[in-house]
Amino acid sequence: MASVRSILKFDNILNVRDFGGLAIDGGGRVKEGKLLRGAQLSKMSKKDQAQLAKYNIDLVVDLRHAPERERQASNWESFKQPTTFVYDDAVSPHSDNKLAPHEIFIIRELSHPKEAHEYMMGSYTKRPHDPGFINVTRQSLQHMASEGSHTYVHCAAGKDRTGTFAAILLLALGVSLDDVTAEYMLTQKAVDISPILKMAATRMEKQYVRPFDPNALRPIFGVDPAFLDASLSAMGPIDNYLKTVIGISDDERDQLKNKYTVS
């Protein structure tokens, strides 16, 4: 492993890191300073905006559902908004236009830790073949292959949807599965969730007027290698997945490697 990057410190953006710097099978590494991932950007401070601007971000991949984007719109007030590709709810409709699917589960259905774990496993399993996720992944990777953009990938917390997207990109660039998994698990260093589970459960009980088990929130708030494994198993071999599901040609994959790796 060349390196797994440390969490970058921002005032109001969580779980931010450069996911470049990783070794590529056969030699070389992913370029540093061009690939950032993290949480949503609605509460960026002036300092956060200035710090993010240093990375020359000109592409944002926003994997959130429309209700999430509407409630927590990205705050670009002090610099020009980058080109942005978003999850397309129109091709992946669900039953509620005010809540994302995971929010519906948490608010209305979550009860026990086992249920939470099963939900997360199912969510990761479905994601690689979800039409909205496929569309935004295709658009983003094709743009990146063409432009070599400095890219910020995010969802809400920057761990699940972002984790699957980052894994696809890193595998496409030739990073080993072990290193991809280690990078995914770095989210554990961003926030120690143990102290906040009880507080979160108490807040949710007041807001939604029903009991919440703090331990049932742990799988929802955390990361687990088994979750990422579920996505990777659903994809099958990355070469075939990129070509036949996402729609990335061999030439486009070569362009990605040229833009985002060094010898």
The domain that holds 188 is classified in CATH as 3.90.190.10
For residue 106, tell me if it sits in a domain: yes
For residue 76, tell me if it sits in a domain: yes
pTM of the model: 0.95
- The label of the residue with tokens 């969802």 reads 155
Tens of pLDDT, residue by residue over 7-18, are: 999 999 999 999
Tens of pLDDT, residue by residue over 26-83, are: 999 999 999 999 999 999 999 999 999 999 999 999 999 999 999 999 998 767 789 9
- In which domain, by residue range, is 97 found? 17-252
| pLDDT computed for residue 4 by the predictor | 56
Confidence at 192, pLDDT banded by 50, 70, 90: confident
| pLDDT computed for residue 3 by the predictor | 53
For residue 262, tell me if it sits in a domain: no
| pLDDT computed for residue 2 by the predictor | 45
As a whole number, the mean pLDDT across the chain is: 94
For residue 1, tell me if it sits in a domain: no
The answer, yes or no, to whether residue 222 has pLDDT greater than 90, is: yes
Any idea which of 11-25, 87-101, 191-205 has the lowest mean pLDDT?
87-101
For residue 257, tell me if it sits in a domain: no
In three-state form (DSSP H/G/I as H, E/B as E, the rest C), the secondary structure along the chain is CCCCCCEECCCCCCCEEECCCCEECCCCEECCCCEEEECCCCCCCHHHHHHHHCCCCCEEEECCCHHHHHHCCCCCCCCCCCEEEECCHHHCCCCCCCCCHHHHHHHHHCCCHHHHHHHHHHHHHHHHHCHHHHHHHHHHHHHHHHHCCCEEEECCCCCCHHHHHHHHHHHHHCECHHHHHHHHHCHHHHCCCHHHHHHHHHHHHHHHCCCCCHHHHHHHHCCCHHHHHHHHHHHCCHHHHHHHHHCCCHHHHHHHHHHHEEC
Tens of pLDDT, residue by residue over 112-158, are: 999 999 999 999 999 999 999 999 999 999 999 999 999 999 999 99
For residue 160, tell me if it sits in a domain: yes
Count of domains observed in the chain: 1
For residue 162, tell me if it sits in a domain: yes
For residue 5, tell me if it sits in a domain: no
